Structures are given as C-alpha cells and as structure tokens.
Amino acid sequence: MNEKYLNIYNNLINYTRNKDLYKCLEREDNFSDRLTLFLLHFSFFLKNFKNEENQKVLQDIYDFNFRQLELSIREIGYGDQSINKKMKDYINLFHSMVSEIHFWDNLTKSEKTKKISFFLSDFGNIDDLLDYFEDFNLNLSKKTLNSYLKSVSNP
C-alpha cells in the first residue's frame, strides 16, 4: 500500500475523533459509530475532489482507506469470515453515503437533515451534526486535493 495517503487517512480519523460529534449520541459511542462518521467524512472528501483529473489518485486513496479499515477490524479481533462480511457491509454503507450526498450542495436543509439522520439515527441533535458537516464540506471546497496530499491538515 502506498504510504503517501496516510496523511489523508489520519486527517479523516482525526475529524472523526472530534468529541463534539458525540455529544448528542444518547449512549456510549462504539466502533460502528466512529466508522460511520469516518465514512461520512470520507464521502464528503471524495465528493469535493471528484473530477476526471483526480480519478486515479482518488481510487488509490479509496483503496488505501478501506485497506486501513480492514486492518483496524482485524486488530479488533474479528475472524477472516467476519471481516469479509463486515467489509462488505461497510463498503455498501459507504457507497450509499456517496450516492446520498452526491448532490449535497443542491439540497434543502430539510433534505440534508433527512440524509444525515438516516446514517446517524442514534444521534439526538441532528441539526448540530448538519451544521458540522456543512462547515466540513465548505472547508473542503476551499482546498485542493494536492494540499491534502502534501501536508497534514488540522481538523
């Protein structure tokens, strides 16, 4: 695997570790919650940088991130059979997210709330999460993919 994408992966992990995201979770967070937030961040990342010019690099980043996720699942202690099933579920969830936020910038606030609620159903105050992802999306749109490849960005 190409280590040059590790900064992007680590940045997405750092965004996911933001404790403010979990304030409105009505229970203790778990691996699945963190992974769902990671995948949402990654979905917005790909949405913002998807174009013909970035296609190969984004595919490499995609492959690297899912390989890292698979390694994380292995570290938790899942067996090979469980890992295959889990990875299939997570990849399907991710593709669903990408599909749902593809036209994010053209959606109304209520449509965005509905989409975020679908993926984060156990979270209480969806409006705060919506505001967070609106800001995250805006910040991504102000940067280039190259800026993420060349440096470590602070969440």
**Structural domain includes residue 63:** yes
**Structural domain includes residue 33:** yes
Whether 72 has a pLDDT exceeding 90, the answer reads no
Please tell me the distance from the alpha carbon of residue 114 to that of residue 132, in angstroms, as a whole number. Answer: 15
Mean pLDDT of the 102-122 span? 93
Q: List b or e across 85-119, with b for residues whose CB sees 16 or more CB atoms inside 10 angstroms.
A: ebbeebeebbeebbebbeebeeeeeeebeebbeeb
Contact 8, 148 (CB under 8 A): yes
**Structural domain includes residue 155:** no
Reference 42, options 20, 22, 61; nearest CA is 61
Whether 68 has a pLDDT exceeding 80, the answer reads yes
Residue 82: the pLDDT is 80
129: which DSSP letter?
H
Please tell me the distance from the alpha carbon of residue 93 to that of residue 131, in angstroms, as a whole number. Answer: 22
Residue 25: the pLDDT is 85
Question: In total, how many domains does the chain have?
Answer: 1
What is the average pLDDT score of the chain?
A: 89
116 band by pLDDT with thresholds 50, 70 and 90: very high
Whether 109 has a pLDDT exceeding 80, the answer reads yes
Containing structural domain, residue 103: 3-150
Residue 1: the pLDDT is 46
**Structural domain includes residue 133:** yes
* Report field, pTM of the whole predicted structure over 0.85: yes
Please tell me the distance from the alpha carbon of residue 52 to that of residue 150, in angstroms, as a whole number. Answer: 20
Which helix (H) or strand (E) segment holds residue 30: the answer is none
**Structural domain includes residue 35:** yes
Q: What are 15-65's pLDDT values in tens digits? A: 999 999 998 887 888 888 999 999 999 999 999 999 999 999 999 999 999
What percentage of the chain carries pLDDT values higher than 70? 95
Whether 69 has a pLDDT exceeding 50, the answer reads yes
**Structural domain includes residue 11:** yes
**Structural domain includes residue 10:** yes
Residue 148: the pLDDT is 83
* Amino acid letter for position 145: L
**Structural domain includes residue 140:** yes
Residue 80: the pLDDT is 75
Residue 13: the pLDDT is 94
Contact 136, 41 (CB under 8 A): yes
